[in-house]
Structure 1
Amino acid sequence: MAEPLRFPLEADPSGAPVLPHNVEAEAALLGALMIDNRLVEDVQLKLRPDHFHEPAHGRIYESILKLAERNMIANPVTLRPMFEGDQALKDLGGPAYLAQLTGSGAALIGARDFAAQIYDLALLRALIGVGREMVEKAVDTSESVDPKGQIEAAEVALYRVAEEGGEQGSVKSFGQATRMAVEAAEKALNSGGHVSGVTTGLDSVNAKMGGLHNSDLLILAGRPGMGKTSLATNMAYNAARRLVRDQEDGIPPEKSIGAAVAFFSLEMSADQLATRILAEQSGISSENLRMGKISQADFRNLARAAQDLEHLPLYIDDTPGLTIAALRTRARRLKRQRGIGLIIVDYLQLLTGSAKAAGENRVQEISEISRGLKTLAKELAVPVMALSQLSRQVESREDKRPQLSDLRESGSIEQDADIVLFVFREEYYVAAREPKKPVDGDDAKVWEQHDQWSRDMERVFGTCELLVAKQRHGATGRVRLKFEAKITKFSDLAEDNYSSIPGVDD
C-alpha cells in the first residue's frame, strides 16, 4: 500500500488554521464503495463515519454501511431516498451529487489507500483536539489548579488516540491463534519447569497453575495477617530476578518466564516493601532491620543484598488513593517505558472508581474496579494480580478456610477473575487459641490441653496453604507452602506439592 499522505495545517482567508483533511479522497472512496460494494468489507473494520471531515460524506458512508448490513445494493439510486431532505447534501448539489461521486472508476484502484489516508488525517485532527484542550485547561486558572490531574487526563486522551491508531480490533485468524498457542507450549517446554506464563518462583505453585498467564486477572485474597502482601512481594521479586538471570544467559525477554514488574502499593510505602525484600534476601528479620538491631556481619549481608537488587526490574508506585483510571494510565506508561510483564495491585479495595460509580454505591464501584483491572490485563497482555480483603464471616466459622463467597463487597470480583487464590495459615488461628500455660499444681486436664495445643502448633508451624479456588485454565486444589514469618518468605514445602481442597471438585 502507498505511503499515506499527510497534509500540513493550512490557513483559511481569515487566518484561522484549517484542520488536516482531504475531501477529494473522501469523495473518491465513497464513489468506489458505491461502484463495488465488496470494498465495504475491506474498510468498515477500520473506518467509521466520524473519521470523515465533511459531515455529509460521513452520513453517506454510514448509509452505505447500513445497506450493506441488510445485504442490499448501495448505489446512488438506493441511497437517494435516504438523502431527500438532507440540507448539507443539497448544498453540495443534492441527490445528483451521489451520482457524481461514482463518475471516476479509477478510484476503485486506490480505494484502500484513500481509506488509510482518511483514517490517518482523522487521527491528526483528534491529536490537534487533544492538544487544544490541553492548552485551554493549562491556561485556565479560574478554577482549582490541578497540574497532575491535568497531566493524567491528557495521558488518557492521548492514549485513546494512540489506541485508535493501533491494530484495529482483536480479530485473529485461527492460524494466528494456533501459532500463539504453539509458542506458549514451546515456552513451557523450554522453561524446564512446565511454565507457560510468568514464573511465581514457587515450583509447586507453577506446577498447579503453569505460572501467571498473560491477560489473566488473578485475585489473591486472605484475612489480615495471612501474608498476602508477603506472597505477592515474593512472586514479584522471583519474576523480576528470573528475567535478569535469563538476560544474563542470553535469553531474549519474550522467551523468558521472568518479567519486569509494576507493584502498585496503596497500603505500604516503597521503602517498607523494599525492606521486606531485603529481609528475605539477606535472611535478617524485617523488624530488626527497621529497629537497627543488626550486627556488622548482618549489615554486610544487607549491603550485599542491596547491591544485588539495585538493578532489579521491579518498579514500585506507592501513590495513595489511586483511581482505577489513574492506575491504568500509569500502568500503560510503565508498559511503554519499562516493558513490564506483570502488574500487582495491593490492594483492590483501596482503589477508587469514577465519581459516578462512587456516587452510586460501593458494590458498583468495586464492580467497575474489577472490570477495569481485567480490561487492563487484556489491553496490555500481561497478568494482573490484585490483592483483596475477605469479609469477617470467615472468623465466625469453625473451619477458617476461605470460600469464594467470602470475597468482600462484590460478586463481580469472582466473576471477572480468571484465577482466585486464597492464602490460609492455620498457624495464625492455632497460635491465637493458646490455652493457659500450666504450672506445678495444675490438674491433668490443664496439662493435657496445653500438650494438645503444642502438638497442633508443631503440625502447622511454618506452613501455609494456597487455595486455588477458581482457575479457568485448570483444576482447583491446594498447594502447601513453607512460610518463614521472621523474614516474610514463602518457599516450596519439601514433603509434598499439592492435593485437592476438601469439598472442591478438581
Structure 2
Amino acid sequence: MAEILRIAGSHDAPHAPVLPANVEAEAALLGALMIDNRICEDVQIRLKAHHFFEPLHGRIYDAILRLNDKNMIANPVTLRPMFDGDEAMKEVGGPAYLAQLTGSGAAVIGARDFAVQIYDLALLRALIGVGREMVEGALDTSEDVAPLAQIERAETELYRVAEEGGSEGKVKSFAEASMESIKNIELALQNGGHLSGITTGIDGINAKIGGLHRSDLTILAGRPGMGKTSLATNIAFSAAQRYARDIEDGIEPGKSAGAAVAFFSLEMSADQLATRILAEQSNISSENLRTGRISKQEFQQLARASGELSGLPLYIDDTPGLTIAALRTRARRLKRQKNVGMIVVDYLQLLQGSGKGSNDNRVQEISEISRGLKQLAKELHVPVLALSQLSRAVEQREDKRPQLSDLRESGSIEQDADIVLFVYRDDYYLAAKQPSDDHPDIDSWREEMARVYGTAELIVAKQRHGSTGKIRMRFDARVTKFSDAANEEYLPDMRD
C-alpha cells in the first residue's frame, strides 16, 4: 500500500490545498472489480473513469469496463498487455501493481460503498474547480469586464456539476410509468376529454394534439408574414391566463391546464409583445396602438385590459443573441424562482450554439440548439414551444403549404421535435396576386379572396402522440389574434 500512498501525493504542488480524494478507496475498488467482474454492473452506470483522482486508476477502471463489455474476464493477467507501455504504471512497479491491487479480497464486501465515495469526492473537486474559476475570473480585469456574463457562465458550470450528480438516472417500473400515464388521462377527462397537456387556448388545436405536453419539444414554423409569432403569443397568453384562473379557483398547480410561461423573444422587444397582447384583449388595432390613433374610450378599454393582465404569470426575456447554454441557465432560474411550466422561444435560428467552430458549420450549430431545447424540455419537465423559419423552397412551389423538408438549415429539428406545426394563410399569398381593377380576372379574384380572407390552417406535420392533419382557424390581422374557425356543421342552411 506504500506505492498507493505515494501516488496520492503526486497531484499536490508545495503549499497547494489538498483536494478531497481517497486514493486507497480507488485502489480497493479496482481490486474488487478484478476479483469479481460482476460488480461492474452495479457501479458503471454512475462511476466514470474521470471521477478517479489518480489518472492511472481511471485508466485501469476504463480498461476493466472495456474488457467486461467484450464479455472477457478482467484480471491482472488479461489487463497486463494494456499497460506494458504506461509510464505511470512503470513508476509504481510496472504491471505487477495490478496484482498488488487484488491483495485484499475483503475489499469486495465494501466495493459499492467505495464507488459512492469516489463519486462524491469527484463532485466536490468539480465544485472546487468551479469556485476557483469564479475567483480567477472575477479578479482578472485585463479584458472587458462583464460580470453578468461571468455569473451566467458560473451558474451554467454549477448546474453542470449538479446535473452530473443526478446523471445515474432512475429505472421506472411499469407500475410507476402507468401511474404517470393514468394522471395524464385523468387530466384529459377532467378537461372535457381532449386536453391532457397545457392549453393552447384554441379548441381545435387542443382536440388534435391534446394541448402542449410536458417534456415535449413542439416546433411552430412558417414563412414570414404567416403569423407564427402571433400564434405563439396567443398560446402563451392563454396558458398563463388559464393558470392564473385555476390557481384563483383553488386548483393545485400540478392539476392546472395552464402554466406560468417564460417567453424568450430574440426578435421582438418585450413592449412589442405586450402591445400585441393588449391589442388582442382590448380589441383595439395593434397598428392604432403603436401610432397612438385611439379614442379616449379606447384608451379606457386599454387601461382596463392592462390592469386585468398586470398579474399574469407571463415572463418575457428579450435579451438578443442568447446562446443555447445561456437560455437553459435562464430557464432553470425562472423554473426555480417563478415555477414556470412552459417555455416559448421566438425563434430558434436566432439562438447561438456553444461557439467553437459553430460559424463554420451552421447545420451542426442548429442541431446542437434543437437537441439542447429537447433536453431542456425533459430536464425541467415542461413543454417547450420553439418557433422556426422555413426555407425559401416554399415560394418556388405552386402549393405554398409547408412540408417537413422546408425546415430551415437542419433535419435535426424534425428529428428532435415531438410535434411539428406549420401555420399557413391562403389570403397572404392571394393578396400578392391581386390583379388591377380593370383586369378580366378581378371578379374571380375578389370571390376567392372573400372565401379565404381571415382564415388560417395549422398543419400538424409530425406528432409522436397521434395523427397528422390540418386544423382550421380564424385570424384577425387587426388585433393579431388566432381563434377557432366556425364549425360548418352547425351553421344555418343558407340555400334557397
Q: TM-score, normalised by structure 2?
A: 0.87
Q: In 2, are the aligned partners of 1:50 and 1:58 still within 8 Å (CA)?
A: yes
Output aligned runs, 1:48-447, within 5 Å: 48-80=48-80, 82-83=82-83, 86=86, 88-89=88-89, 92=92, 97-169=97-169, 171-437=171-437, 446=440
Separation in 2 of the partners of 1:119 and 1:97? 23
Separation in 2 of the partners of 1:268 and 1:35? 63
AA of the residue aligned to 1:333? R
Separation in 1 of the partners of 2:427 and 2:84? 79
Q: CA deviation at 1:263?
A: 1.1
Separation in 2 of the partners of 1:51 and 1:493? 58
Separation in 1 of the partners of 2:80 and 2:409? 55
SS of 1:469's equivalent?
strand
AA of the residue aligned to 1:232? A
Q: In 2, are the aligned partners of 1:480 and 1:496 still within 8 Å (CA)?
A: no
Distance 1:90 1:145, change over 3 A: same
The equivalent residue for 2:492 is: none
Q: CA deviation at 1:181?
A: 2.8
Output aligned runs, 1:13-28, within 5 Å: 14-28=14-28
Separation in 2 of the partners of 1:429 and 1:190? 41
Distance 1:224 1:170, change over 3 A: farther
AA of the residue aligned to 2:460? V
Q: In 2, are the aligned partners of 1:216 and 1:377 still within 8 Å (CA)?
A: yes
Q: Please give the per-residue CA displacement for 1:15-62, whole angstroms capped at 9, x wherever unaligned.
A: 421011122332333333334332221111001122122333323322
Q: CA deviation at 1:371?
A: 3.1
Distance 1:93 1:176, change over 3 A: farther
The equivalent residue for 1:442 is: none
Q: CA deviation at 1:120?
A: 0.9
Q: CA deviation at 1:184?
A: 2.5
Q: In 2, are the aligned partners of 1:418 and 1:471 still within 8 Å (CA)?
A: yes
Q: Please give the per-residue CA displacement for 1:214-269, whole angstroms capped at 9, x wherever unaligned.
A: 33322212222211111000001111122222222333222222222121111110
The equivalent residue for 2:5 is: none
AA of the residue aligned to 2:300? R
Q: CA deviation at 1:162?
A: 1.1
The equivalent residue for 1:467 is: 459
Q: TM-score, normalised by structure 1?
A: 0.86
Q: Does 1:490 align with 2:494?
A: no
Between stretches 171-180 and 190-199, larger displacement belongs to 171-180
Separation in 2 of the partners of 1:410 and 1:85? 45
Q: In 2, are the aligned partners of 1:357 and 1:368 still within 8 Å (CA)?
A: no
Between stretches 428-437 and 284-293, larger displacement belongs to 428-437
Distance 1:13 1:412, change over 3 A: closer
Distance 1:89 1:433, change over 3 A: closer
Q: Percent identity?
A: 72
State the Cα RMSD in Å: 2.8
Between stretches 334-343 and 40-49, larger displacement belongs to 334-343
Q: CA deviation at 1:317?
A: 1.0
Separation in 2 of the partners of 1:56 and 1:436? 81
Separation in 2 of the partners of 1:453 and 1:52? 74
Q: Please give the per-residue CA displacement for 1:127-178, whole angstroms capped at 9, x wherever unaligned.
A: 1111112222222233333333333322222221111111424654444433
Between stretches 114-123 and 169-178, larger displacement belongs to 169-178
AA of the residue aligned to 1:392? R
Q: Which runs of 5+ in 2 are unaligned?
A: 1-10, 490-496
Separation in 1 of the partners of 2:397 and 2:104? 78
Distance 1:361 1:72, change over 3 A: closer
Separation in 1 of the partners of 2:364 and 2:26? 43
Separation in 2 of the partners of 1:403 and 1:13? 61
Q: What is the number of equivalent residue pairs in this alignment?
A: 479
Separation in 1 of the partners of 2:316 and 2:78? 60
Between stretches 109-118 and 279-288, larger displacement belongs to 109-118
The equivalent residue for 1:502 is: none
Distance 1:105 1:261, change over 3 A: same
Separation in 2 of the partners of 1:365 and 1:39? 40
Q: In 2, are the aligned partners of 1:263 and 1:345 still within 8 Å (CA)?
A: yes
Q: Please give the per-residue CA displacement for 1:338-379, whole angstroms capped at 9, x wherever unaligned.
A: 332222111222223343444314344333333333333333
AA of the residue aligned to 1:240? A
Separation in 1 of the partners of 2:213 and 2:288? 36
Q: CA deviation at 1:85?
A: 5.5
AA of the residue aligned to 2:307? Q
The equivalent residue for 1:477 is: 469
Separation in 1 of the partners of 2:404 and 2:15? 64
AA of the residue aligned to 2:233? T
Q: CA deviation at 1:476?
A: 1.4
The equivalent residue for 2:3 is: none
Q: Does 1:44 align with 2:44?
A: yes
AA of the residue aligned to 1:454? R
AA of the residue aligned to 2:24? E
SS of 1:18's equivalent?
coil
Q: CA deviation at 1:110?
A: 3.2
Q: In 2, are the aligned partners of 1:240 and 1:259 still within 8 Å (CA)?
A: yes
Separation in 1 of the partners of 2:363 and 2:30? 48
Between stretches 292-301 and 261-270, larger displacement belongs to 292-301
AA of the residue aligned to 2:44? Q
SS of 1:215's equivalent?
coil
Separation in 2 of the partners of 1:122 and 1:302? 57
Between stretches 293-302 and 311-320, larger displacement belongs to 293-302
Distance 1:88 1:357, change over 3 A: closer
Q: In 2, are the aligned partners of 1:357 and 1:364 still within 8 Å (CA)?
A: no
